[in-house]
Amino acid sequence: MVKDISSYSNKGEAFEAADDVPVNCSTAPTFGDVVNARLGRRDVLRGALAVSALAVVASPAVLVSRAAEAAVSRYIFEEISHGVDETDHVPVGYSKNILIRWGDPLTAGAPDFDPMNQTAATQEQQFGYNNDYVGFVSLPEGSNSSDHGLLCVNHEYTNEEVMFPGIGGRQDGDMGFADMTKELVDIEMAAHGGSIVEIKRGDEGKWSYVKDSSFNRRLTMLSTEMALTGPAGGSDRLKTSADATGSRVIGMINNCAGGITPWGTYLSGEENFHGYFLGEVADGPEKANHERYGVPGGWYTWGTYHDRFDVGKEPNESNRFGWVVETDPYDPNSMPKKRTALGRFKHEGAESLVNKDGRVVVYMGDDQRFEYVYKFVTEGRYDPDNRAANMDLLDSGTLSVGKFNEDGTMNWLPLVFGTGPITAENGFNSQADVVIGVRFAADLLGATPMDRPEGFEPNKITNKVYVNLTNNSKRKADQLNVANPRAESLFGHTVEFTPPDGDHAADTFEWEILILSGDPNDPDVGAKWNDATTENGWFASQDNVAIDHQGRLWIASDQGSNWSKTGTADGIWALEAEGELRGTGKMFYRVPVGAEMCGPLFTPDDTTMFVAVQHPATDGTKDYPGFERASTFEDPATRWPDFDDNMPVRPAVVTITKDGGGKIAT
């Protein structure tokens, strides 16, 4: 989910220079510093990385160790190969089908998609753009059906150059948004947000969505009213000329990953909200706050036509974004709620589990260079027999930030008003101030700056927790270490956390590096994998992480426009996390050129994998052999998934099933 756009961008390469400046000025040790100090003492990494800490990976990845050779993989499928072309790929013995695409009609009376005659009104009735996170809840409510349910999908952002006919290339600040109009801006706003869609598996095993279902719903930036709840709800810092109460806002933006709660609601994280604002930041109480969050980002020209996206006119509007939004998919008339207790930052996901004491724990990452990992523990306890009693659990609890220690432990530091340095003397007058400017509070506590924490998922079978750190091209040469021996890293790594005795509410965890990504055959990359990893099993810039119902890890990658540095498109990899094969990757799915891989997600019986293919034909197509230019609506690098000259390239959700049925990868 692209996002920190120094190496690539969710608005494209034109924004690379504009947003290539980390905004965290914390002097706390970086994650690389801590890993270096720790490994300097331990000399080795455990598990898959149990090699000399001074060794450089030089042997071919295809050379399998004797132990690995004898081990049996938990993932049974014929691995696909690295590569880049115009379509997507699955292993032999598997089938892929398009479930739903941008523009497909959802609600009763919605028109069929007409790319030459788009309007905001029709887009609000159709599936949105750039599908990112995918969640699933079973139908009927309370069941564990794997054949019938509701798909909950984020629509993160828009790519105007391949959405609209007649647009003269990518629309950005350098172009002055020359071809944009209010009508096109409103279509963009209608294409953002989320979709809730009823889906069913037919007698032959193929999935389809239920057009006109009473459950089908669009959440959009144009018209969906949302409540601001929790400690910041009603704060003066959330009040605007349109909302004197500070408790209501229209829409959600740049929704990246998310999660499904134990009570069956859909969580959606607002990520790069700063990019939607224009204007000049005036001297005043919000100036430092805007600077710390990168507001205004100037990626879109919405502020030209809608005053609330001009920070000079509405300085508090950006404080109403950057939250986790909770929606009840079973009630299409319910009002979504922005749960401010979980903090305001560039949210990636919000994955949760019920702790051993009944409280609910939510894991979250702030996806920007040198930002932090967070955990929220509810005050109340989950009641499996009373769904209504759980519906506001996320309004009260303790938000904490992670600090990594050299001895292999990490501390979760509470972000609570009135404790430690989080006081009026340092600019905090309430818990509302803490959650609105949570980055400031985390800085004061000395949290560990991370390398873009994205996918963050607890394994409910093993009680381990995994976070993907996508990259950090700003790592300096003096931060090189055996655990991450690469300056300006574009490749990322995955960290594993272990709570003591399975207690996710504990203040101290252990941590371990699972893999250091990139090509293990290139000694300059400094990757670390299990020797059993093949020439197709390694990946770079991991993003989402999913865990199936057997406790197995699946990793989605997002290299953005830098895919040519690895020579392969993004995709889904199985990743061994246990036993002698720990740290072994295996490629399962590959996206078409220019696309980002989002998801994956499994049905409760693990017989279907849902994946979301986002912005096909956009990222890095200048490096695509035989195309070698930027895509436009009229001339895209691929016309996936329709391959119809009368249809533009379209983001889509794909179902993957095993031929003849059965669990994925068994």
Residue 57 pLDDT greater than 50, yes or no: no
Q: In the 8-state DSSP scheme, what is residue 275?
A: G
Contact, 637 vs 594, CB < 8 A? yes
pTM (two decimals): 0.93
Quote the tokens at residue 428.
């905090």
Rounded distance between C-alpha atoms, residue 571 and residue 62, angstroms: 20
Q: Encoding tokens for residue 97?
A: 């089908």
**pLDDT at 406 (0 to 100):** 84
Task: Give residue 507's pLDDT.
Answer: 98
Q: Which residue has the tokens 């740290």?
A: 583
pLDDT at 9: 39
pLDDT over threshold 90, residue 343: yes
Whole-number pLDDT of residue 49:
40
Query: Residue 12, Cα to own-chain centre: how many angstroms?
Result: 17
| Whole-number Å distance between alpha carbons of 287 and 76 | 54
pLDDT of residue 63: 38
How far apart are alpha carbons 52 and 260 in whole angstroms? Answer: 41
Structural domains of the chain in order of their starting residue, each with its CATH number: 13-658 (2.120.10.30)
Indicate whether 323 pLDDT > 60.
yes
What is residue 21's predicted lDDT score, i.e. its pLDDT?
57
Which residues does residue 362 pair with via DSSP β-bridges, in sequence order?
352, 376
Gap between the Cα atoms of 379 and 402, Å rounded: 19
Phi, psi for 592 (deg, rounded to 5)? -70, 165
- The widest CA-to-CA distance across the chain, in whole angstroms, is 68
Which parts of 17-72 fold into alpha helices (H)? 31-42, 66-70
Residue-level pLDDT at 13: 38
Token pair, residue 398, equals 């303790």
Q: Would you place residue 203 in the very low, low, confident or very high pLDDT band (cuts 50, 70, 90)?
A: confident
At which residue do the structure tokens 């609600």 appear? 107
Q: Helix, strand, or coil here: 189?
A: helix
How many whole angstroms from its chain centre is CA 58?
Answer: 33
- Residue with tokens 């895509």, as numbered in its chain: 631
Structure confidence at residue 53 as a pLDDT band (50, 70, 90): very low
Residue 149: other Cβ atoms inside 10 A: 25
Q: What is the pLDDT of residue 18?
A: 40
Strands 337-339 and 225-229: parallel
* Confidence band for 594, pLDDT divided at 50, 70 and 90: very high
Where are the extended beta strands (E) located within 156-308? 193-201, 207-209, 217-219, 225-229, 248-250, 255-260, 266-270
pLDDT at 484 over 60: no
Instruction: Say whether pLDDT at 327 is over 80.
Output: yes
User: Given a cut of 70, is residue 20 above it in pLDDT?
Assistant: no
- Mean residue pLDDT across the chain: 90
Q: To the nearest 10°, report the CA torsion of 492, 152, 346, 360.
A: -90
Which residue type occupies 336?
Answer: P
Check residue 555 and give its pLDDT.
Answer: 98
Above 60 in pLDDT, residue 48?
no
Q: Is 331 left (phi over 0), alpha (psi -120 to 50) or beta?
A: beta
Distance of CA 518 to the CA centre of its chain: 20
Instruction: Answer positive or negative: Cα dihedral of 63, 68, 73, 74.
Output: negative
d(CA 428, CA 415): 11
Residue 78 confidence (pLDDT) above 80: yes
Q: What is the mean pLDDT of residues 618-637?
A: 96
Q: What single string gives the DSSP state of each residue in 359-422?
A: EEEEEEEB-SEEE-EEEEEEEEE--TT-HHHHTTGGGSEEEEEEEE-TTSEEEEEE--TTSTT-
pLDDT at 52 over 50: no
Least confident among 193-197, 292-296, 560-564: 560-564
The answer on pLDDT for 64 being more than 80 is no
Copy the structure tokens of residue 33: 């510093």
**Cα gap 254→98, rounded to integer Å:** 23
Contact between residue 368 and residue 379 where contact means Cβ atoms under 8 Å apart: no
Residue percentage of the chain with pLDDT more than 90: 81
Distance separating alpha carbons of residues 311 and 300, to the nearest angstrom: 13
Would you say 453 and 369 are in contact if contact means Cβ atoms under 8 Å apart?
Answer: no
> Across residues 574-596, what is the average pLDDT?
98
Other CB atoms within a 10 A radius of the CB of residue 205 amount to 17
pLDDT at 69: 63
pLDDT the model gives residue 526 = 83
User: What tens digit of pLDDT does each residue of 537-575 get?
Assistant: 999 999 999 999 999 999 999 999 999 989 999 999 999
Which pLDDT belongs to residue 283? 92
Report the pLDDT value the prediction gives residue 583, as an integer from 0 to 100. Answer: 98
Quick one: tokens of 294? 């990168």
Q: What's the angle, vertex CA 463, arms to CA 457 and CA 466, rounded to 5?
A: 30
**37-46, 310-319, 422-431: which range is least confident on average?**
37-46
pLDDT score of 200 more than 80: yes
The whole-angstrom separation of Cα 176 and Cα 169 is 12
Answer yes or no: are the C-beta atoms of 227 and 336 closer than 8 Å.
yes
pLDDT tens column, 449-464: 889 999 999 999 999 9
- pLDDT at position 3 is 37
Percent of the chain with pLDDT over 70: 88
Distance CA 265, CA 162 (A): 33
Per-residue b/e over 581-604, b at no fewer than 16 CB within 10 Å? bbbbbbbbbbbbbbbbbbbbbbbb
Here the tokens at position 258 are 């998310």
Please state the three-class secondary structure of 588-649 as a single string.
EEECCCCCEEEEEEECCCCCEEEEEEECCCCCCHHHCCCCCCCCCCCCCCCCCCCCCCCCCC
Mean pLDDT of 36-48: 43
User: Over 80: is that where the pLDDT of 317 sits?
Assistant: yes
